[in-house]
A and B are shown apart, each in its own frame.
Chain A
């Protein structure tokens, strides 16, 4: 099992702030639950198709010190950015850049959780660890609660629009290191924010990550969150996200997935207020023996809510993807508009895509569609590209880019769209080294 490092212990050379009692109590209770909860099992529908052999929970240590070369590499990465940012490696905070003075003056807060435990204790206490994603990985969610200390709180007061994108990144530097990032976002009424979240490794191989995102959107609030995952080969990771939307709130999430060994994402959109809307997008490029296991839940609890999910995966080599989605419409959620679409492009005969779209509708006046496709490159299209002198590998890259275009086009912000398109393009150009 995961060796538990208490945050009082030395962590990368700097002594961390001790946890307040209420937090410690949460950890203790979570640890008890974690040991009690069963391991994921094939018998559980929510683990259907998962290659459980790829799940590795043993031999990792949280709070591993970050060695100098990784520190330098991350510093160089960090210095390329300009946005307000927090960078963690192996759960210690390495670098930070603060918000603009204007944003601070308006009351926006961007702070590491451990600092918030002192400076904004009441705020933290009323939101932290409140949500449960619970799409199968309860044991992992509990483990996260027992171990998480690294992470960020972003708080935007009512009516404030945070213009700068917030960069949060979490890294692993060792094969046997574990990380438990926590992202807590609280947007008050009509507040707006945009977050760029990144997960990656400085080591070439292995690691364990279990992150949780709790996103609270007040009435009329708007959030855009981009998550880029690019863990080292063989990393076992879980990212469990829940977004709660009050009346007329609006959330767009985009995930760009590559790298890793086994990657599970659980994404829950909770449309709790009338008129709220959630767009859930994902683009995955799976290679080698990577497995991406994506589970989603579109929870329509109020009338006039809209959700729109589009997950696309391109699969190379012997990679695997799993998509299992559910749209749930409560009896009271009339005039719901819900879409769910999962599309897979197989570039290799050894790749395997599994799709399980799902609906459960208890209201009568709704518009819901869902569907999944698994396709291959059309041989005539391939011949056409080859005839123009484009080699097979470059042609496949064009097809993947073409295939992913419509997900990228759904991103509202032009800058973010361009950055993502470039990121996808460059990761396709250098297939072996991310």
Chain B
């Protein structure tokens, strides 16, 4: 049982972005990925989720024994994969409640219908825990939400859908200190022996609240270093410069815009 990423290569419009990622996340584990802007962290999360813009050129991803890459994005999600987006998009006219009802309904066996009372009970419970006003549930999803509200809404969705593996892409960015605590609380409530987490972040700050078991550093589409929580502290002090110098040569760095495979 795990989310196993093996030698994953992916590109977008003829440009290689992921250049051999291997990583295994077991239920109960929390992994953090850090790395400079443009190193491919969001790309990894979208490739896992099945975004149609990216082409996987090599490697495999296996979720609890089932190969993921041939599956449609919605199937992957129902298999237990959740992605909290770095930039959640707005869904005009569709309320949070209706959206989550559709997502919850989609997880029920064929022919079974959702108990509306149970649904709202759970929704309000999670909203209360995340310090969200209940009236928020009737607002169109992400439309006109502040940056912090969008991130909270992502965590609310995660809490409602109870994924087996969750990838959180910079869920801490744009949050004030109080919101950060609330969001971290939401993440910690999902943690447990049943759930595996992959947290993408730029800041040690989040990791103060959600202490990871493993920290990985991604540079130019590869994981160049892995370690325990102390690695994050070291990066906070030293920056990525020393790693980029070593692993992100201008010839292959997507930052330099010349990353063709080969």
Contacts and interface: CB of A to CB of B under 8 A. Distances in A.
Q: Do A and B bind each other?
A: yes
B168 interface: no
B103 A402 contact: no
Contact of A398 (B77, B94, B157): B94
B89 A384 contact: yes
Nearest to A392: B74
Contacts of A398: 91, 94, 98-99, 102
A394 B106 CA distance: 8
Contacts of A402: 91-94, 140
Given A398-B98, A402-B140, A390 B91 contact: no
B52 interface: yes
Interface residue tally of chain B, by bracket? 20 to 34
Contact of B73 (A383, A399, A405, A406): A383
A387 B73 contact: yes
Interface string A382-412: 0111111111101101110111111000000
Contacts of A392: 74
Contacts of B181: none
A423 interface: no
B88 interface: yes
Given A379-B52, A384-B91, A398-B98, A390 B85 contact: no
Interface of A: 378-381, 383-392, 394-395, 397-399, 401-406
B78 interface: yes
Interface of B: 49-52, 72-74, 76-78, 82-83, 85, 88-94, 98-99, 102-103, 105-107, 140, 157, 161
Contacts of B105: 394
A391 B74 contact: yes
Given A379-B52, A405-B93, A389 B88 contact: no
A384 B88 contact: yes
A94 B102 CA distance: 40
A388 B77 contact: yes
Nearest to B51: A383
A262 B161 CA distance: 43
Nearest to B143: A402
A402 B102 CA distance: 13
Binding site secondary structure of chain A: helix
B106 A389 contact: yes
B93 A403 contact: yes
Contact of A401 (B77, B83, B85, B98): B98
A401 B94 contact: yes
B93 A390 contact: no
A403 B94 CA distance: 8
A387 B83 contact: yes
Contact of B91 (A379, A381, A397): A381
Contacts of B161: 388-389
For A379, A387, A392, A394, which residue has the most chain B Cβ atoms within 10 angstroms?
A387
Nearest to A397: B102
Contact of B78 (A384, A389, A403): A389
Contacts of A395: 74, 102
Given A398-B99, A402-B140, A388 B157 contact: yes
B98 A386 contact: no
Contacts of B49: 383, 387
A390 B94 contact: no
Contacts of A386: 50, 72-74, 77
A353 to B, nearest CB: 18
Contacts of A389: 74, 77-78, 103, 106-107, 161
A383 B93 contact: no
A384 B85 contact: yes
B88 A390 contact: no
A23 to B, nearest CB: 47
Contacts of B73: 383, 386-387
Nearest to A388: B103
A390 B106 CA distance: 6
B12 to A, nearest CB: 14
For B83, B99, B140, B157, which residue has the most chain A Cβ atoms within 10 angstroms?
B99
A397 B259 CA distance: 40
Contacts of A403: 92-93
A397 B76 CA distance: 20
Nearest to A378: B89
A399 B107 contact: no
* 3 cross-chain pairs, A with B, having the tightest CB-CB distances, nearest first: A402-B93, A389-B77, A405-B93
Nearest to A405: B93
